[in-house]
């Protein structure tokens, strides 16, 4: 019992004193996962919308593959990205392994199918004739896509949340491709794993609380955006 009380106490102290190391870890987590989510939005939403609007043979197969990708185990992605970035691997020349860039890459690989999968479902869930109705109103193709996205804004923001939630809480890939280097690639999840392993439960609890608060804050903001301007 003492362990928990002490842990929470230490956590509060770390939080309210703005401990520089904790602070830098938090910031890096936010940056890395934020950039990775952003990248996955561009690729995942772009691909998802094109796929949802396109009609071709093998579409169902491709959508199934993407949906399977939504449950991609981070350690498998970590392994794959490590091999790709390994010194004599296909992308070794980038010298990205054990840098924040590597974590961003791995997290983007994890988040993209999540965003794409939800985007496809969101766009396909709109009424079939809505696309025709928008074109009939005199929309260009870009205007049509914009209006479809606006109509699907609730599930599309859910895609953002799911993507961000997936990568900020992920540890396997980050530790494999980032290496948990102090002050360089140490993020909230990898630090928590390490501190727990060392028996420093107080710091681990503090990091855990920060992670939870961070995820909550980001999702709260997105929810506000999502529910904004809904007429009553």
Binding residues for other proteins (CB under 8 A):
127, 129-130, 132-133, 135-140, 143, 147, 150-151, 229-232
| Smaller CB separation from other proteins, 197 or 231 | 231
Query: Could you please report the per-residue DSSP string of 85-143?
Result: HSTTSTTGGG--TTSHHHHHHHHHHHHHHHHHHHHHHHHHTS-TTHHHHHHHTT--HHH
Least Å distance, CB 119 to other proteins, is: 17
Give the residue with the Cβ less far from other proteins, 88 or 140: 140
Report the nearest approach of other proteins to the CB of residue 57 (Å): 12
- The answer to whether 126 and 86 are in contact (CB under 8 A) is no
Strands (E) in the chain, as ranges, are none
Output 213 or 225, the one with its CB closest to other proteins: 225
Rounded to the nearest whole angstrom, what is the least distance from the CB of residue 104 to other proteins in the complex?
34
- Shortest distance, position 223 Cβ to other proteins, whole Å: 17
Structure tokens at 37: 């989510």
Closer residue to other proteins, CB minimum distance, 183 or 231: 231
Residue with tokens 């561009």: 42
User: What whole-number distance in Å separates Cα of residue 209 and Cα of residue 13?
Assistant: 12
């Amino acid at each position: 019992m003492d362990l928990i009380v002490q842990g929470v106490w230490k956590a509060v102290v770390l939080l309210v004193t703005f401990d520089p190391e904790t602070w830098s870890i938090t910031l890096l987590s936010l940056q890395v996962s934020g950039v990775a989510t952003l990248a996955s939005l561009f690729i995942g939403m772009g691909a998802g919308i094109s796929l949802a609007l396109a009609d071709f043979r093998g579409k169902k197969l491709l959508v199934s593959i993407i949906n399977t990708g939504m449950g991609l185990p981070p350690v498998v992605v970590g392994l794959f990205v490590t091999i790709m970035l390994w010194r004599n691997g296909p992308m070794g020349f980038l010298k990205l392994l054990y840098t924040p860039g590597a974590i961003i890459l791995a997290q983007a690989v994890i988040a993209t199918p999540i965003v794409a999968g939800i985007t496809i479902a969101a766009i396909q869930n709109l009424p079939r004739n809505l696309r025709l109705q928008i074109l009939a109103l005199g929309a260009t193709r870009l205007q049509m896509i914009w209006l479809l996205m606006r109509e699907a804004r609730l599930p599309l923001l859910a895609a953002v949340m799911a993507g961000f939630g997936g990568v900020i809480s992920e540890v396997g890939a980050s530790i494999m491709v980032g290496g948990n280097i102090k002050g360089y690639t140490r993020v909230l999840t990898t630090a928590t794993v390490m501190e727990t392993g060392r028996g420093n439960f107080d710091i681990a609890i503090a990091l855990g609380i920060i992670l939870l608060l961070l995820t909550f804050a980001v999702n709260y903001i997105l929810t506000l955006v999502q529910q904004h301007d809904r007429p009553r």
